[in-house]
Amino acid sequence: MRMRNRLPAALAAAALVLSACNGTVQRPEIDLEGVTVGSLGLSGGTLVANIRVRNPNRFTLRANDLRYQLFLRKPDAQPGDSAWTRFADGTYPDTLTVGAGRTRTFPIPVSFSFGQLAGASRQLLGYGRVDYRAEGTVDVRTPIGMREVPFHKTGTFMMSGGR
């Protein structure tokens, strides 16, 4: 008898979730605006990756566990080559909050050692620039549960900042 009472409630809950999936929850847009130098020390430093999140929804989004990988183009790579070397990766555990219909930029610190720069340091010192590729995912909380949202960006890191 109790099973029969639970079935309509379960069906109603399923219908609510399915209706919420029909366009009510839109995927947030996540992009890397650029990369700047945060600080430099004797053995390494910190870069600041500026992650922009646009929330097209009518509710506030909360996200955690921004997972990222940052790659640098090898100095001998020709245009069109996929000659990338991994420079840094990690997880930013703090909660990111974006209001309904808003866009917000979050500075994410990325630590590195000069040993990780390898050939890219020649490009930075010689030309003041190096090509980068950033990618990753972030877990976004929505009214219907967690969603993993990917992001990807390529650009050129300049000693004076990112582009």
Task: Give the model's pLDDT for residue 77.
Answer: 66
CB 146 within 8 A of CB 123: no
Model confidence over 35-59: pLDDT tens digits?
788 898 888 888 888 888 899 988 8
Task: Report whether 68 contacts 90 (CB < 8 A).
Answer: yes
pLDDT in tens, 149-159: 888 888 877 76
Distances in Å between the Cα of 75 and the Cα atoms of 30, 36, 52, 118, 121 are 28, 20, 28, 9, 9
Tokens of 58: 């009518």
pTM for the full predicted model: 0.65
Say whether domain 26-162 belongs to CATH 2.60.40.10.
yes
Q: Output the six-digit token pair for 99.
A: 């209001």
* Helix or strand holding residue 76 (H, E): none
pLDDT tens figures, 95-132: 999 999 999 999 989 888 877 665 565 556 566 677 78
Yes or no: say if 144 and 20 are a contact pair by the CB < 8 Å rule.
yes
